[in-house]
């Protein structure tokens, strides 16, 4: 099965969780993330802003900002396809952007050096236990993880258990994550 077919199948299952199922499981997964020493010791965390049926990161972002963490969110550029981290000080600084994904309003964009990031929360549609993922097809995170952040920066993904498959088709440019947190387990990727 190719990436597009796997992505379509898993995203349909994820959407079938519904709002209540998503909310319940998202809370469990976020609690596990916030219990991690990697989270507790991180000063600067880059986190995607969830949309649709993704694990909800909105409260995670708000709580982290209130607890004194520096939270960076992605600002994407379509030509060339690159992503830059921008420091977010308040969730109200966001507005709907491309694909109806929340993004910082122009006046609140504060780019930071990616080398300042201690922890990256990496989105994805499908994952395997080796840490490889199928994203949404843009390649933004693979380029960012390969070229911009320090190699020692921890890369963690959040996923519902139904998003874990035996094996994701891997390409040379794919960058695996170090850990995947689901509602059932924390997977240390090899």
pLDDT in tens, the chain (190 residues): 789 999 999 999 999 999 999 999 999 999 999 999 999 999 999 999 999 999 999 999 999 999 999 999 999 988 888 899 999 999 999 999 877 889 999 999 999 999 999 999 999 999 999 999 999 878 899 999 999 999 899 999 999 999 999 999 988 888 999 999 999 999 999 8
Domain that holds residue 36: 3-188
The answer to whether 58 and 49 have CB atoms below 8 angstroms apart is yes
- Is the whole model's pTM more than 0.85, yes or no? yes
Q: Which of 17, 83, 3 is nearest to 56 (CA)?
A: 17
The answer to whether 136 and 125 have CB atoms below 8 angstroms apart is yes
Q: Total structural domains in the chain?
A: 1
């Amino acid at each position: 099965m190719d990436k597009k077919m796997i992505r379509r199948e898993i995203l349909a299952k994820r959407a079938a969780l519904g709002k209540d199922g998503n909310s319940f499981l998202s809370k469990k997964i976020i609690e596990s993330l916030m219990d991690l020493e990697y989270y507790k010791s991180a000063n600067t965390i880059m986190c995607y802003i969830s949309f649709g049926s993704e694990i909800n990161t909105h409260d995670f972002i708000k709580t982290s900002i209130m607890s004194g963490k520096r939270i960076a969110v992605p600002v994407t550029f379509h030509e060339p396809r690159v992503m830059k981290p921008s420091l977010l000080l308040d969730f109200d600084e966001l507005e709907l952007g491309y694909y109806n994904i929340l993004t910082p309003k122009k006046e609140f964009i504060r780019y930071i050096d990616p080398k300042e990031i201690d922890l990256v929360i990496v989105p994805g549609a499908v994952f395997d236990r080796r840490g490889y993922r199928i994203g949404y097809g843009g390649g933004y995170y693979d380029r960012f993880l390969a070229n911009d952040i320090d190699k020692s920066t921890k890369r963690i993904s959040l996923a519902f258990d139904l998003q874990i498959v035996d094996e994701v088709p891997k390409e040379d440019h794919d960058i695996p994550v170090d850990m995947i947190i689901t509602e059932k387990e924390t997977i240390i990727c090899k």
